[in-house]
Amino acid sequence: MTLRSTLTAAAAATALALLPNAAQASVRYPDPRPVTGQQIIHDPSVIKLKSGQYVAYSTGGIIGARLSKDGKQWDDAGNAFAEPPSWWYEYNDTGDPWAPDISYRAGTYWLYYAVSSWGTNHSAIGVATSDSGLPGTWKDHGKVFSSETTDSWNAIDPGVIKADGKLWMAFGSYWTGIRMVRLDPATGKALPGATVGQLATRPDLPYAVEGPYIVKHGRHYYLFASYDACCAGVNSTYKIRVGRATDVTGPYVDSTGKPMLEGGGDLLLEGHGRYLGTGGQSVFQDQGQDWLAYHYYDAEDNGTPKLGLNRLGWVNDWPVVK
């Protein structure tokens, strides 16, 4: 590096340090991929179907659905279900489902979701199956796992992964953070008497971590989670953090070695510019490329929650948003 380039770099660094936080964040984080059509979404779970279409399921409606032919233009496709299954009303008066997770296994699409009410851990996770993965084709199979007010965890925000021939579900929101339970591959439901492990938490109340999603890359498993507060429009402080482990059940640590059970987790993506409160994330693959799907609150549209999509790269075996 020449003296001139050294001075230029130093000047740029000084200028960056003087920028407002939002401007610094804009330099640090790339904007989401431009999308058109029905952009409004919350807690998106995206997959590319065998048909070649993309589908995104989300919180809102009876598990709201969006369809796309190219991953850029998204169209409203109604809901996963025509009517809420009757058992949902045990957990809220409106039969309102949250935070779906779609996956494909053994020739079948599996859709996990949560039903609960704001501020309580009287909650349950359910599952449905479909041959095509399209809205309107799902058959519900009832409860997978539940929690009561006497439990120290909250059974919402499911994220399912198959690892070493076993099926696992990460879940959790606030209370004592992120938990994990083993599932029966045949039914997709929690094994009777299965131990509930713990993957991540915060050192202080209210343990604001939720929305787990686990992927495998190379020899590691990576736990993505949303930290801090969602659902407050432009006042949302949601951000995505990540840790990794050599075993799907943990322990997960960040790049400094700090355990996620002690509040660790590398900051992957946070609000910047107009894109505030980034979280509710999931990861999907398209032609060998990993993509991060999430929602953000649009500061230039009254804090409306919208779909964020970014390529996910890997540098020194850690994920990087592109």
- Residue 270 annotated among the catalytic residues of the structure: no
Instruction: Give Cβ neighbours of residue 77 (< 8 Å, ≥ 6 apart).
Output: 55, 65, 66, 67, 134, 135
User: How far apart, in whole angstroms, are the C-alpha atoms of residue 22 and residue 83?
Assistant: 42
Q: Which residues pair with 241 in a beta bridge?
A: 225, 267
- Residue 210 annotated among the catalytic residues of the structure: yes
Q: Classify burial at 281, counting beta carbons within 10 Å of its beta carbon; exposed 0-12, middle 13-18, buried 19 or more.
A: buried
Integer Rg of the chain from CA: 20
Instruction: Give Cβ neighbours of residue 12 (< 8 Å, ≥ 6 apart).
Output: none
CA 25, chain centre distance (Å): 21
CA atoms within 13 A on the CB side of 22: 8
Q: How is 96-128 classified by DSSP, letter by letter?
A: -EEEEEEEEETTEEEEEEEE--TT---EEEEEE
Instruction: Give Cβ neighbours of residue 20 (< 8 Å, ≥ 6 apart).
Output: none
Q: Which of 43, 96, 101, 266 is catalytic?
A: 43
Q: Which of 96, 157, 210, 298 is catalytic?
A: 210
User: How far apart, in whole angstroms, are the C-alpha atoms of residue 216 and residue 144?
Assistant: 23
Which sequence positions are flagged as catalytic? Answer: 43, 210
